[in-house]
Amino acid sequence: MKALITGVSGQDGSHLADLLLEKGYEVHGLIRRSSTTNTQRIDHIINKIQLHLGDMTDSESLHRIIREIKPDEVYNLAAQSMVRDSFDVASYTADVDALGVLRILEAIMDTEEDIRFYQAGTSEMFGAVLEIPQTENTPFNPQSPYAISKTFGHYITKHYRDSYGLFACNGILFNHEGPRRGDKFVTQKIVKGLVAIKRGLQDKLYLGNLDSRRDWGLAADYIRAMYLMLQQDTPDDFVIATGETHTIREFLDEAARLLGMDWTEHVKVDSKLFRPSEVDMLLGCADKAKSILNWQPEVKFKQLVKIMVDAELNR
């Protein structure tokens, strides 16, 4: 089996590459040309996978790579994934996260090969939620250029499945974290900031809305669900979540408790870090994934925080 992973150097892409290698796949990854290397998450497997230069904004490179590889599976994990940044770079976010999905679907169709496709959706598509908890049938109500772009990606994937018979699945993944999470994401920002404060390397940590509630799971757990979606007889869409919701304040509490700290002495709320339109609460119901994929999260909230704190202390 051959798989192409876009966004292979990111948190999810690196975990997925690990999993597919364990299962005996020939793994290919799409990376962007850059003047600096950004492969630290895949350096441990760099000699076991094949990397290809390309870009989600460049149709020609996507067509060329898919024609050359002829993969059995394509996992589209590439994205401009910072929600707050998407307000400032809205057109770029749409070009990558929305039109990029269309470009890769067209590239797959043009090969006329039997290729299975996974599209990485997000709980941010639910936005200002219209029901609690959110399931595969909950209407989307996106509140950011990122979420709107991902919603387009979701529906264009469904369109190619329904109209052209492509084996295409949408994973609606709720927040998933871990030691490979980028530094700008709030969970990693909290963990790295508190550890640095504890060690006397910095004094203050600036955060935005501490009352936002999220359904947080472990990234390595959620990758298994992506793989399982493409192993089914029939393509479908699945919510992947833990079924628990916690505030950012609770994440702070737990991380500080593990470090023996009082975070209130060091954390400051900065209004500049608030989004123009906030998403107050996300809570997923993964019953469909549990029933059909036989998937369920192995790691819940407190264990997730401990994994991240321990990893940062060790680092």
Residues 294-307 pLDDT 10s: 999 999 999 999 99
Q: What is the pLDDT of residues 261-283, one digit of tens each?
A: 999 989 999 988 888 888 999 99
Strand 246-247 versus strand 176-177 pairing type: unpaired
What does the block give as tokens for 199?
A: 């060690």
Residue 214 reports pLDDT greater than 70: yes
Whether residues 41 and 126 share a domain: the answer is yes
For residue 8, which of 22, 24, 39, 29 has the smallest C-alpha distance?
29
> Which comes out higher in pLDDT, residue 184 or 126?
126
Cβ-contact 151, 140 below 8 angstroms: yes
**Residue 288 in domain:** no
Tens of pLDDT, residue by residue over 111-161, are 988 999 999 999 999 999 999 999 999 999 999 999 999 999 999 999 999
**pLDDT of amino acid 213:** 96
Q: What are phi and psi of 257, to 5 degrees?
A: -60, -45
Q: Whats the size of the chain, residue-wise?
A: 315
Per-residue pLDDT, averaged over 2-15, amounts to 97
CB 160 within 8 A of CB 74: no
Give a yes or no: residue 294 inside a domain: no
Give how many domains the chain has, as a whole number. 2
User: What is the chain's Cα-based Rg?
Assistant: 19
Residue 256 neighbours by CB distance under 10 Å = 22
What's the confidence (pLDDT) of residue 35? Answer: 56
65 and 133 share one domain: yes
Q: Over the stretch 9-46, which tens digit does the pLDDT of each residue have?
A: 999 999 999 999 999 999 999 998 775 668 999 999 99
Q: 3-class SS at 302?
A: helix
* Residue 166 located in a structural domain: yes
Residue 43 DSSP symbol: G
Whole-angstrom CA distances from 55 to 5, 62, 87, 92, 95 are: 12, 7, 21, 12, 11
What pLDDT score does 148 carry? 97
User: Which pair of tokens denotes residue 255?
Assistant: 């991380």
202 & 100 share domain:
no
Question: Contact at 8 Å (CB) between 114 and 92?
Answer: no
CA distance 45 to 291: 33
98 shares its domain with 232: yes
Q: Supply the range of the domain harboring residue 252.
A: 182-214+244-280+299-314
| Residue 69: other Cβ atoms inside 10 A | 20
Shared-domain flag, residues 75 and 158: yes
Q: Is residue 287 part of a domain?
A: no
Would you call the peptide bond into 235 cis, given omega within 30 degrees of 0 as the criterion? no
What CATH number does the domain containing 264 carry?
Answer: 3.90.25.10
Q: Are residues 20 and 169 in the same domain?
A: yes
Task: Tell me, rounded to whole angstroms, the distance of Cα 38 from its chain centroid.
Answer: 17
Helix axes 99-111, 59-69, angle to 10 degrees: 40
Residue 286 lies in a domain: no
Residues 140 and 248 occupy one common structural domain = no
* 290 domain residue, yes or no: no
Q: How far apart, in whole angstroms, are the C-alpha atoms of residue 50 and residue 56?
A: 18
pTM higher than 0.85: yes
| Residues near 225 by beta carbon (within 8 Å), at least 6 away in sequence | 171, 173, 238, 240, 289, 293, 295
Are residues 199 and 81 part of one domain? Answer: no
Q: What is the mean pLDDT of the chain?
A: 96
Q: Which residues are catalytic?
A: 122, 124, 146
Q: Are residues 204 and 137 in the same domain?
A: no
Q: Is the domain of 162 the same as that of 106?
A: yes
Angle, vertex CA 258, rays to CA 194 and CA 84, nearest 5: 40
CATH code of the domain in which 46 resides: 3.40.50.720
Q: In this structure, are 42 and 85 located in the same domain?
A: yes
What does the alpha-carbon distance between residue 91 and residue 87 come to, in Å, rounded to a whole number? 9
Report DSSP letters for 46-63, one per residue.
Answer: TTTSEEEE--TT-HHHHH
CA distance 65 to 30: 9
Contact status, residue 78 vs residue 7, Cβ threshold 8 Å = yes
Residue 80 belongs to some domain of the structure: yes
Q: Is residue 289 part of a domain?
A: no
Sequence-distant (6+) residues with CB within 8 A of 130 are: 138, 139, 141
Residues 235 and 308 in one domain: no
